[in-house]
């Protein structure tokens, strides 16, 4: 009887362990990774002038393949209020979803063409939110984003080319500044240009440690390095802008 009880307890424990770990897979497993270049030589005060990405040691992309905006590029089309920049982070026991409530930026179209020539974003890190109030506060603290020291994150594209992973229409490359670190990242995106708006959607992951965010979490509940980024951006095209 004692042996049967021990086996029964062992079976129950195994079942509970399986139930506890179910649904805790890494969200990044199902999305494409962003390609990240070598660390940039970012100045210590980069966060105080995030609109000027730090110079990088990595070589620039060849001019023949760079889709930087030409002199005649149409003026920027701002993102609509319903645009979203979201993220998903995870640890051993589960995941958390969040994003940023305040960000500006937009797209620019190549002159006379229905092609996106430039994408920018300027994120207010103090607007960070998550599905857990305590976590939101912790993310703003020095362990993670350190918002007081690094109040902004920025992205400025340097190349946009057709084709990409997982059915993407384009691959967007640009300078991304986060937590005082600037790197060049490339990620797949679906880009749609119509007479009414420009829409960009993307889902990819970056590694937080690439940007100096290395807080490990609890010993028995370690935080994963990968963070999924979700972009749902819409830039309406007004008649005045379309004719510029």
Kindly list the domain boundaries of the chain, sorted by start residue.
25-242
Question: Averaging pLDDT over each range in 27-41, 181-195, 228-242, which range is the top one?
Answer: 181-195
Give exposure, 20-57, as e/b (b: 16+ Cβ within 10 Å): eeeeeebbbeebbbbebbebbebeeebbeebeebbebe
Which fold, 25-242?
A: Lipocalin (2.40.128)
| Residues paired with residue 161 on neighbouring β-strands, in sequence order | 171
Contact 33, 164 (CB under 8 A): no
Average pLDDT, the chain: 81
Closest CA to 155 of 127, 191, 182, 190: 182
pLDDT exceeds 70 at position 68: no
Given this model, what pLDDT does residue 30 score?
Answer: 86
Q: In angstroms, rounded to a whole number, what is the distance separating the alpha carbons of residues 161 and 65?
A: 8
Given this model, what pLDDT does residue 2 score?
Answer: 52
**pLDDT digit string (tens) for 147-179?**
999 999 999 999 999 998 878 999 999 999 999
């Amino acid at each position: 009887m004692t042996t049967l009880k021990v086996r029964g307890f062992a079976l129950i424990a195994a079942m509970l362990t399986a139930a506890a770990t179910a649904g805790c897979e890494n969200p990044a497993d199902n999305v494409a990774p962003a390609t990240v270049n070598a660390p940039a030589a970012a100045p210590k005060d980069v966060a105080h002038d995030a609109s000027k990405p730090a110079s990088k040691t990595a070589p620039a992309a060849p001019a023949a393949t760079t889709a930087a905006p030409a002199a005649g590029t149409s003026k920027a089309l701002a993102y609509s209020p319903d645009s979203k920049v979201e993220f998903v982070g995870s640890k051993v026991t589960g995941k958390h979803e969040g994003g940023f409530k305040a960000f500006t930026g937009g797209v620019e179209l190549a002159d006379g063409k229905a092609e996106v020539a430039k994408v920018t974003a300027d994120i207010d890190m103090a607007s960070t939110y998550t599905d857990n109030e305590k976590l939101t506060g912790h993310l703003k603290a020095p362990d993670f984003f350190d918002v007081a020291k690094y109040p902004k994150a920025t992205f400025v594209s340097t190349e946009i080319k057709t084709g990409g992973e997982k059915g993407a229409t384009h691959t967007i490359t640009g300078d991304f500044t986060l937590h005082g670190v600037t790197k060049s990242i490339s990620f797949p995106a679906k880009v749609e240009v119509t007479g009414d708006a420009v829409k960009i959607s993307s889902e990819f992951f970056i590694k937080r440690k690439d940007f100096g965010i290395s807080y490990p979490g609890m010993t028995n509940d370690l935080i994963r390095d990968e963070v999924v980024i979700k972009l749902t951006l819409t830039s309406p095209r007004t008649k005045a802008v379309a004719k510029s």
